[in-house]
Chain A
Amino acid sequence: MALVTCRDASFSYEGNTAVSGLNFEVERGDYLCIVGENGSGKSTLIKGLLRLKTPLSGSVSMSNGLKANEIGYLPQQTAAQKDFPASAYEVILSGRLSRLGILPFYSRADKTAAEENMKRLSIENLRNRCYRELSGGQQQRVLLARALCATKKLLILDEPVAGLDPVITRELYSEIDKINREIGLTIIMVSHDIQSAAQYATHILHLRTEQVFFGTAAEYTASSVGARFLGGERR
C-alpha cells in the first residue's frame, strides 16, 4: 500500500474551495514535488497532509503505521522566529519532542539523534550559535535537521529555498536529494522552482486550484502542461 493516498480530496480555506480533485499516491522512497502558481492550493494541501486540515470531501489516508509523530516538517519561517533567542542545538533537539510523550526531559538517544543530524548536514559548528544570528541558509539547515529528528519515514517541506541565494539553494537541494537517496526518506516538497523540481523529484504534482498533472518527472517534462510551465519559467 502507498504511504500517502489522496482520493478525490478537496480542501477549503475560509469557506472557499482552495483546491479540489486531488488523486495521487506517494510510495515509500518517492520524491514528490508539488508545483503551481501562488494561490493554487499548495500550502493548503500541505496542511491537509499534515492533518492540520480535514478534507472537505474525499479522503487523505496514510498507510498503516504512519503516525503524526513520524512525519518531519520544514515549515515556512514565521516573523516571530527571526528574533528568537535559542541556540541551534536547542531548536534541533526540539524535533524529538513528539517522541517524549509524557516524559518531561530528553533522553540520551534523543541527544544522540540531534548530534547525528547536525553531522549529516555539517552544521556541528553552529551548535551553540544563536538562531537569530544565523544566515538564511544556515537557519534552513537547522530547521531541516530538526525535521530529520522528527521523522524516519516522511519529510514534508514547504518552500525550503524561498529567499535563498542560488549557491545556497543548490546546496540545500543536493542535501535533500541525498536524504532521499541515502536514508530512503519519502519527500514531499512544495516549490516554486520548477527547474530543480524536474531535475531532482521522481514525481510531480501540478496544481491550479485543482489537480492539473500528476505523474513522474519524465512524463511531466514531456507533457503539454509541463512543457509550457518549464518553458515559461526559462523565459
Chain B
Amino acid sequence: MIDIVAEMFSYAFLVRAIVVGLLVSLCAALLGVSLVLKRYSMIGDGLSHVGFGSLAIATAMNAAPLIVSIPVVVLTAFLLLRVSENSKIKGDAAIALISTSSMAIGVVTISLTTGMNTDVCNYMFGSILAMSRGDVSLSVALAVMVMTLFVLFYNKIFAVTFDENFARATGVNVGLYNMLIAFLTAITIVLGMRMMGAMLISSLITFPALTSMRVCKKFRTVTICSGFISVICFFVGVVISYLYATPTGASVVIMNIMAFLLFWAISSIAKIIKRRKNA
C-alpha cells in the first residue's frame, strides 16, 4: 500500500491532482452540510452543468478555463438563489431549465469547434490529467479562501441554515450570507469539476454531509466529520483509480457510496441496540 502511494507521488501531475482534489473535497464537504440542510443540493448539480457549458465555450475561445468559468458560475449561483427564493417558476424547475440549457449549449459548442472527441468525455466524467501548474496555484489559493471564509462565517452560516426567519427577524443580513454560501459553492464546483466531471461533482457536496448526518448529532461534529469523510474518500478513490485504471471521479463517488452505506449500517445497529436497552 505504502509502495503504491509512494509510486503515485513520484508523478508530478498526480501530486498536483491530489493536492487540489483534497482541498476541493474538503471545501465541498463543509459547504455541503449547509446546502443539504437548506434543501439546496440541486443547486450544486445545476451549477456543475453550467460549468460544463462555460468550460466548453472557454475551450472554443482558447481562453483559460478557470478564468471564464468562475464568473459565469458565480453569477448563475446568485441567479438560482434568487429564483428559488421568489419566483413564479419554482426553484427545482428553474434549476432543471438552466442546467439542461447550458449542457446543450456546451455540447453544441464543442461539436462545432473541436468535434465530439475525448474532451467531451473528460469534461463529463473528469480527468486526473486536467490540472496544469497554473491551475494548481489558482485552485489552492481559491480553496484556501473558501475554507477561511467558511470558518470566519461558520456561526452565521449555522444560524441562516437553521432558521432564516429568526435570523432575519433579529436583524441579521440573511441575503448576504445566502449569497456568500452560493458564491463559495460556485467556486468549489468550478475547481473540482474538471477532475470529478460535470456529472459527478455535486456528489462531493451531498454525500459527505448525508453520510455524517447518519451518525453525528451536532452541527459542528457533522461539519467536521463530513470534512474527514470527504478527504478520506477522495484519497482512497484516487488510489483505486490509479490501481485499476478506473475514472477518478467515478471511483471517488463509489467510495462515498460505500462510506454512506457503512455509516447508515452503524446508525441502524446503534438504534437497534438502544431499543433493546430501553425495552
Q: Which residues of A contact B (CB under 8 A)?
A: 50-52, 67-69, 71-73, 75, 78, 80-81, 84-87, 90-91, 94-95, 97-98, 100, 104-106, 128-130, 133, 146-147, 150-151, 156
Q: Contact check: which of B39, B155, B158 meets A86 at CB < 8 Å?
A: B158
Q: A80-B38, A81-B162, A85-B219 known; A104 and B152 CB under 8 Å?
A: yes
Q: A75-B163, A85-B217, A94-B159 known; A52 and B154 CB under 8 Å?
A: no
B162 near A85 (CB under 8 angstroms)? no
The stretch of B3-11, B105-113, B126-134, B168-176 that contacts the partner chain: B168-176
Distance of B178 from chain A, by nearest CB (Å): 14
Q: A69-B170, A78-B163, A97-B172 known; A85 and B155 CB under 8 Å?
A: no
Considering only CB atoms, which chain A residue lies closest to B215 in the complex? A85
Report the bound CA distance from A98 to B163 in whole Å: 13
A-B pairs, 8 with minimum CB distance = A68-B171, A130-B217, A69-B171, A50-B169, A73-B169, A86-B219, A94-B159, A98-B170
The yes or no answer to B220 lying at the interface (CB within 8 A) is yes
Q: Contact check: which of A69, A87, A150, A151 meets B219 at CB < 8 Å?
A: A87
- The residues of A that contact B169 with a CB separation of less than 8 Å are 50-52, 68, 71, 73, 75, 156
- The residues of B that contact A81 with a CB separation of less than 8 Å are 162-163
Considering only CB atoms, which chain A residue lies closest to B214 in the complex? A85
Number of interface residues of B (CB under 8 A): 28
- The residues of B that contact A75 with a CB separation of less than 8 Å are 163, 165-166, 169
- The residues of B that contact A51 with a CB separation of less than 8 Å are 169
- The residues of B that contact A86 with a CB separation of less than 8 Å are 158, 162, 218-219
Give 11 pairs: A residue, B residue, CB < 8 Å, sorted on A: A50-B169, A68-B171, A71-B171, A84-B37, A85-B213, A85-B218, A94-B158, A97-B170, A98-B167, A104-B152, A130-B218
Report the bound CA distance from A67 to B163 in whole Å: 20
Distance of B91 from chain A, by nearest CB (Å): 14
Known A-B contacts: A98-B171, A133-B217. Give 13 more (CB < 8 A). A52-B165, A52-B168, A71-B170, A73-B166, A80-B37, A84-B37, A86-B219, A87-B218, A90-B219, A94-B163, A97-B170, A104-B154, A146-B166
Considering only CB atoms, which chain B residue lies closest to A146 in the complex? B166
Total CB contacts across the A-B interface at under 8 A = 92
- The residues of A that contact B162 with a CB separation of less than 8 Å are 81, 84, 86, 91, 94
Report the bound CA distance from A73 to B170 in whole Å: 7
Report the bound CA distance from A75 to B159 in whole Å: 14
- The residues of A that contact B219 with a CB separation of less than 8 Å are 84-87, 90
Q: Contact check: which of A68, A73, A85 meets B222 at CB < 8 Å?
A: A85
Chain B 131-157 near chain A by CB (<8 Å), digits 1 or 0:
000000000000000000001111110
Report the bound CA distance from A218 to B121 in whole Å: 76
- The residues of B that contact A151 with a CB separation of less than 8 Å are 170
Most A Cβ at <10 Å: residue of B151, B152, B172 = B172
- The residues of B that contact A90 with a CB separation of less than 8 Å are 158, 218-220
Report the bound CA distance from A146 to B158 in whole Å: 14
Report the bound CA distance from A52 to B171 in whole Å: 10
For chain B, residues 169 to 217, give those with C-beta under 8 angstroms from any C-beta of chain A.
169-172, 213, 216-217
A95 near B158 (CB under 8 angstroms)? no
Report the bound CA distance from A62 to B220 in whole Å: 37
- The residues of B that contact A67 with a CB separation of less than 8 Å are 171
A80 near B39 (CB under 8 angstroms)? yes
Report the bound CA distance from A119 to B165 in whole Å: 25
Report the bound CA distance from A131 to B263 in whole Å: 20
Considering only CB atoms, which chain A residue lies closest to B223 in the complex? A85
Considering only CB atoms, which chain B residue lies closest to A46 in the complex? B169
Report the bound CA distance from A186 to B179 in whole Å: 34
A94 near B155 (CB under 8 angstroms)? yes
Considering only CB atoms, which chain B residue lies closest to A88 in the complex? B218
- The residues of A that contact B167 with a CB separation of less than 8 Å are 94, 97-98
